Amino acid sequence: MEEEILVPNETGLYQLDGWVVVLLFVLVYGGTMVVSARISKKKENADGYMTAGNKVGFGISAASMTATWIWAASMYASASSGYTYGISGPIHYGLWGALMILFIYPFGKRIRAVAPKAHTLGEILNARHGRASELMLAGSNIVGSVISLTANFIAGGALVSLLSPFSFGQGVLAIAVGVLLYTLWSGFRASVLTDFVQVVAMLGAVIIIIPAVFFAAGGSNMFVQGAGNLTPQQSDFFSSDAFLNQGAPFIAAVLAYAIGNQTIAQRLFAVREDLIKKTFVTATVGYGATVIGVGLIGVMALYLGITPFGGDVNNLIPQMASTYLGPILLSLFFIMILGALSSTADSDLSALSAIMMADVYGKNVAKKANPKTMLLVGRITMIVATAAALIFASQQMNILDLLVFVGALWGALVFPVIASFFWGKVTNKAFTTSVLVALAFFIPVRFSWFSMDGATGILFDILSVAGVGVILGLMAFGFFGLKIALITGAFAALISAPFIIGFLHEYSVLTGSLVAYAVSTVVCYLMSFRNKQNFDFELIKARVGDYDPQDEDLDNMTATGGK
């Protein structure tokens, strides 16, 4: 039977036979289609399509938040980090990502208090500032979600091309169609409920697969025999190379993901308001344990001296699975990756549809939004976004680079967005100007468009010091308030300055991220602090609400653990 399921290809790697792969696709996407069909309604509700009625319970919410944050790209990127930076690589990827989920909830509680019936962050910014800031955030989320969707399709294509007789392109197409079909009709409602099934499958598979690969690859002996394959930096748990190239940029990136990402905001708006803390704390633990665990596959590959197939680190996880897992576990691994990428891909589609429905059509095109038209806009958006991601996925870009770039790009928005929910003096002009100026600094630095020699490098190092202070200050602000935040930010800047000034400009990814935070913060503050008018946040509740009658169909279905 094993010979019928596992077939060696021309590279010597074992693949699942074609009929097995087709069966697994039918199992995964057929199952999600059944779930989606059971919650479908003949007359869909626009608000339910975007946020499931704002009353999703703890069990479904925590599972959905975990599944959305654990995507195939994050698994692949964690393994890539382990393979590239050694034993501390998965920690720098998984730990900081987990902590950023934790940092969402204090800001999330404020956002929900200000706008309990919101569908998107941009919708709130429209009520707070006007069109410019809303469309700026919406535009960044469209770019980010399309890139995220692309990254998941790339991960799926790599999985299929290595573990089956089907090609990369065929794998990407099959996954895109499967995700689109079960998400298209019910939108976020389908996404959030299928996430529960997907996260159970993912966590169960990780618990079995990681130890199986470890023991099949030689157990603890691989660390003794393969130690010579590591550089001194890769074998150092406190590697400065890993921190400066992976850890620090990712701290900056994931904070931006947490604040500016519509897929996260949708779950924030969907969960019952009294369950926000409980949901995000649970998701923190689930994400960290899973992603760090999967990242260890990359570390094992490094010790074993394995070269990624085709020189592409995106192939590393399926390559290790093919080499060390038997047919049953390899099939389980296949389901795990399909579930991981699908749970985030459907979230991206739901996020994009909500942005086009609420931010573009609802607030900027229609004088009075028609719920039926909104649903049509949402579904067309999903189809167009899927087609665009299919085209971009054909380029097979490095997933880790995509993730860090998007996070850094959103760094320009973090302070203006947070300040807009807490500080009544921030104006629309201050918001838009600070973001545009920050992007004007970030992009040239990130892509090294000019020399950083001499005084120029020192200038950007000083801005980076300010960026460190801003990031740590914002983290402290969420939990401890303004006074502690100012003290934390000032101390962080002072302590980091001697270690940053003079050399950090050599790391363009990290410098670009820190500069984006610093510039947006300085410009936004200087343009706002003299403003004599204070915005009345109660106005937002009156300006942001439901488009349709309240959607009640998930109240009972999603109340798991919500009492």
* Whether pLDDT at 502 is above 80: yes
413 domain residue, yes or no: no
Give yes or no: residues 373 and 431 share one domain.
no
- Total count of residues recorded for the chain: 563
pLDDT per residue as tens digits for the range 59-111: 888 888 888 888 766 788 889 899 999 989 999 888 888 888 888 888 989 99
Total count of domains within the chain: 2
Letter string b/e over residues 243-255, b meaning 16 or more CB atoms within 10 A of that residue's CB: bbbbbbbbbbbbb
Confidence of residue 556 (pLDDT cuts 50, 70, 90): very low
Give yes or no: residues 73 and 163 share one domain.
yes
pLDDT per residue as tens digits for the range 440-474: 998 888 888 888 988 999 999 999 999 999 999 99
254 domain residue, yes or no: yes
412 domain residue, yes or no: no
- Rounded to an integer, the average pLDDT of 12-38 is 85
The mean-pLDDT minimum among 202-216, 294-308, 480-494 falls in: 202-216
Confidence of residue 421 (pLDDT cuts 50, 70, 90): very high
> What pTM did the predictor assign?
0.83
Give 458's contacts (C-beta < 8 A, 6+ positions apart): 501, 502, 505
256 domain residue, yes or no: yes
453 domain residue, yes or no: yes
CA atoms within 13 A on the CB side of 514: 27
Give yes or no: residues 272 and 180 share one domain.
yes
CB 82 within 8 A of CB 247: no
Give yes or no: residues 204 and 315 share one domain.
yes
Domain that holds residue 241: 2-401
Helix (H) or strand (E) holding 168, with range, is helix 168-184
Give yes or no: residues 226 and 289 share one domain.
yes
CB 164 within 8 A of CB 18: yes
Give yes or no: residues 270 and 380 share one domain.
yes
pLDDT of residue 46: 81
Token pair belonging to 80: 């890539």
Give yes or no: residues 389 and 431 share one domain.
no
Confidence of residue 349 (pLDDT cuts 50, 70, 90): very high
212 domain residue, yes or no: yes
Give yes or no: residues 214 and 93 share one domain.
yes
pLDDT of residue 460: 95
547 domain residue, yes or no: no
368 domain residue, yes or no: yes
Give yes or no: residues 40 and 157 share one domain.
yes
Confidence of residue 11 (pLDDT cuts 50, 70, 90): low
